Amino acid sequence: MQFTFNGIRKKYITVLSHLQRPVLPSISYTTTERVEAGERVTGMKMDSMILDVPVVIYHRDKTMQELKLELSSWLYSEDEQKLVFSDTPSQFYLARFLSVELEEYEHFSKGIIQFLCPTPYQYAGEIVVPITEEQRDIQVVGQVPVFWTLHARIETRTSQFEIRNQHGEKLILQHQFLENDVIEIDASKRAIYLNRDARMSLLSFESRWFPLRPGVNILSVSAPSTITYQNIYF
Please tell me whether residues 140 and 93 are part of one structural domain: no
pLDDT in tens, 115-135: 999 999 999 989 999 998 778
CATH number at residue 37: 2.40.30.200
Average per-residue pLDDT for the chain: 94
Domain boundary among 96, 120, 144: 120
Q: What is the model's pLDDT at position 18?
A: 87
CA distance 94 to 179: 40
| Stretch (H or E) spanning 212 | none
Q: What is the model's pLDDT at position 22?
A: 87
Q: Which tops the pLDDT comparison, 97 or 62?
A: 97
Overall number of domains in the chain: 2
Please tell me whether residues 15 and 116 are part of one structural domain: yes
Q: What is the model's pLDDT at position 154?
A: 95
Please tell me whether residues 112 and 55 are part of one structural domain: yes
Summarize the confidence of residues 140-148 as an average pLDDT: 94
Confirm if 171 and 152 have CB atoms less than 8 A apart. no
Please tell me whether residues 38 and 59 are part of one structural domain: yes
Q: What is the model's pLDDT at position 48?
A: 95
> Which band of pLDDT confidence, cut at 50, 70 and 90, is reported for residue 64?
confident
Domain hosting residue 193, numbered range: 124-233
Does the pLDDT value for residue 109 go beyond 80? Answer: yes
Q: What is the model's pLDDT at position 37?
A: 86
Q: What is the model's pLDDT at position 107?
A: 83
Please tell me whether residues 166 and 62 are part of one structural domain: no
Q: What is the model's pLDDT at position 106?
A: 81
Please tell me whether residues 135 and 27 are part of one structural domain: no
Please tell me whether residues 161 and 223 are part of one structural domain: yes
Please tell me whether residues 226 and 135 are part of one structural domain: yes
Q: What is the model's pLDDT at position 176?
A: 97
Q: What is the model's pLDDT at position 186?
A: 98
Task: Provide the whole-model pTM.
Answer: 0.83
Please tell me whether residues 64 and 161 are part of one structural domain: no
- Could you please report the per-residue DSSP string of 22-74? -SS--EEEEEEE-SSSSEEEEEEEEPPEEEEEEEEE--SSS-HHHHHHHHHHH
Q: What is the model's pLDDT at position 129?
A: 95
Please tell me whether residues 114 and 175 are part of one structural domain: no
Q: Percent of the chain beyond pLDDT 90?
A: 83
Task: Please report the sign of the dihedral spanned by the C-alpha atoms of residue 104, residue 109, residue 112, residue 118.
Answer: positive
pLDDT in tens, 7-29: 999 999 999 988 999 888 899 99
Closest CA to 85 of 49, 50, 51, 48: 51
| Stretch (H or E) spanning 160 | strand 158-165
Does the pLDDT value for residue 197 go beyond 80? Answer: yes
Summarize the confidence of residues 67-91 as an average pLDDT: 94
